[in-house]
Amino acid sequence: MSQTLLANFSAIVAAVGGTGIDSVGFDMDYEEWGDLATSVANVTIALSRQFGAGCPITFCPFTSQSDWIQSQQQIYSTLGTQPVVGFNLQTYAGGGTNKPPDWTAAVKAAQKTGVPDPDNFIWPIVSCDSTATPTSTPNQATQNLKKWGSKGASLWATAPLPFEGYSLSNYSSAFAQCVG
C-alpha cells in the first residue's frame, strides 16, 4: 500500500510541479486514534525520502502538542535534518483553545527537533467559517496575531465569502499588518 500511496503523491507532485509552481509540499493533519507521533513521523520520513528538500512539509496540529513535537524528534533522529518547515496551528474548532506562544515555547524547550528558528515556526490558522468557531473578523484576527507575536498565519474559510461582510482582501490586509 505505501508504494501505491507514494506513487500517487509522485503523480500529484509531477502534475502540479509542471505548472510553473516553485514547489509542492504536504500538510500533515492527523485526526485518527493511535500513535500520532510515530504515524506522522513515518509518513513524513517517507515523503522526505521520496521528494527531498524541494518538497516542504508542514504539520497541522489542533491538539496533542507533545505528540507533534515527539514526531519532529523522531524525524530529526532518523533523517539528521528537519523537513518540517512549520506548524499550521489550528486556533478554531478542536484547537480553539490553542495559544500559539505556548506551542512556540514547547518547540523551543524540546531537545533534538532540528527546528532552526522556533520563533518563526508556529503559524496560527484563524477561522472565518461559522461552522468552525471561534471565528474572527479581520480586526480580531489582527489583534490575536499581534498578541501571539505570529510571524505567519493563514485563514480557514470553507464557507463562501464574504463572511459577516468581510472579503478575502479584508483578511489579507489584516494579516499584512502584523505578520511577515
CB atoms inside a 10 Å sphere around CB 47: 20
- Is the alpha carbon torsion for 87, 93, 98, 100 positive or negative? positive
Domain residue limits, the chain:
22-176
Alpha carbons within 13 A on the beta-carbon side of 168:
8
pLDDT tens column, 76-97: 999 999 999 999 999 999 999 9
Of the pLDDT bands very low, low, confident and very high (cuts 50, 70, 90), residue 180 is low
Check if the beta carbon of residue 54 is closer than 8 Å to that of residue 16.
no
Q: Residue 1's pLDDT is what?
A: 52
Q: Residue 32's pLDDT is what?
A: 87
Q: Residue 86's pLDDT is what?
A: 95
Percent of the chain with pLDDT strictly greater than 70? 98
